[in-house]
Structure 1
């Protein structure tokens, strides 16, 4: 039996997919299980070389497809005739769902049998409304005796879109896909989720059971002893759904209140989001803020993370939602407290006693700053509590823990 990762989100080293596939792949290799990966056609050559991955998928997980001028006119007219407000995102959502699901199905069916055939366990680490229906169509178009076993990770909420606003069509697209897939579910097709909250969402909304596939990034170096002047850090992509735009005002508020602390912020974005561009400009004007530019490799990230005494996770509860986070996983496994927004998974973990930190509500810069100040006031105590939780959390979030769940779905292959 071989494991095949199909991930159209696998593009560069800064993607969640790269580290996940590399770490879980290594865990599989230690067990003598062969594996390979197929990623986006525009995959970085270094990623392809390091993972031995094959560039394949015509559209990436993070793409969208624009609607034609005629589609725009028809949808505007329909909104006018029915006296409804025209949603400017809806034409893009419809076109993306139609084009990308069709392309995803075609790309899967174009795979060689050694990648999508009998005797293979296929893992999809992340799909959304533009992939799941296509996956189901591809499985139904494959003769039963030629189908692999497929474990599909439900990483996102049904209304997630790659352009950063909740989608209207997603919940319906998921519902149709699950209905079509009923004959396959539990036989050929299985589902996983990063945490119990996401699994519960799909159980309640669609009656679909998802095994827990833990974010496998728990092998983090232990947090340092807290210095007299602690450091609060923000790592990962700089974008609105991760609350990057809240950082300048929150830091300025903390400074005005006399907080004696440093801030370390990673700058990593493509310049397409106006709020992110403005936030970066504002951060550069603040004192006591050190910026790290671009993608960090594993060694650079570990070195930067070691300077952090608390991790800032101001993720948008609507746009980011209950998704897991590698940054959160590594921080908690290292015994580092977090500042998280209510409604996001990190905050739920704090409330459940699985992680240590402060939670803020409402979702604005002042509440965020208040939470930073609260954590700063009890930093030594918070670190002791975080350290006490770290070992058990790390043990449950290893590549081997992920591989255990993955191989449990092999079904005797």
Structure 2
């Protein structure tokens, strides 16, 4: 039990002290194994063995990075952004809400998850800086879209999330229809909406100066936009780029494989000569620079999660808390949400937290008298807690990928801390409310 508590706290502290997130997760993982009584060698072997759980995601991230570089190489993003500069001037809140909306579509209507971020966000950095938009607000908007839709909407990743909750609840003695899950999770979802509005209209409402006018004009995004608008008009390469994007999207939706979709898009752009074959090494290297570190973070996080599971640390923690709760509904709800927050902050996945919590806490909810709707709300909210704010979650890694394209955005202080505050706190409060209303 103490292995997960100490290692997650260690992970958070190291991350907030600006220790590289990859090293922070590695140290936390090794500490969890040692506290659980394993040797350093056994812990490292278990870590490496568990990394396979995110192998598909890692290769997807790498290929999406290469695809994003190719799209940027075509010049279409700079051309588009030049047109948007005049239209969006002065509309800071509108831009942030639009980003949240586009991000939301990536989970349900067009389920590409974080794939759109390295394509959309880096070229917009110059616009954010010129309009003095706080990048923490952008990170909050992006994380909202990566998280809120799968909680509320039963489509795409949301349908998967709801199905897992319903099946795990049924496995442990409580039946609920998948169609009832939106009703169970609407109140926690409203908490996220409140958090987003607070971030946009209160916390980050003030302008943030990102440098002198000379700095802004000489930024990579600014230079790209200027060069594109002066030297290139809409042409055949841009048509092929759009076709490649649509083809990649279609493959992703049809096969449910981000990696295959990205690979098809890359091949289409090479065959269409958007980028010459001779530039292949350079483009792949740039894609690796953009996304390689993120892929390794996801792999190490999967190994860390495997250590916590295989050593029984999570099971011990859940079982221990269930034994001291007693019959109090409030205390039961509070503990379920707190443990969910702790586990997800460590392993970085809401979907993987559901089975862990359901095994013990569904029977406990039955014992203290929670309804199926209230139980579903607690399990769903508890598993979603921590996804925002976790250094190892793709809901925070994704926004950092785009916002740090010019090296001016910190993963912990500019993404994880703001998203933790604006989403986990309201989720916790609204989750407690839902448990007693439903």
Q: TM-score range by the shorter chain?
A: under 0.3
Higher helix share: 2
- Normalising to structure 2: TM-score of the pair? 0.23
Higher RCO (CA-CA < 8 Å; seq separation 6+):
2
- Normalising to structure 1: TM-score of the pair? 0.24
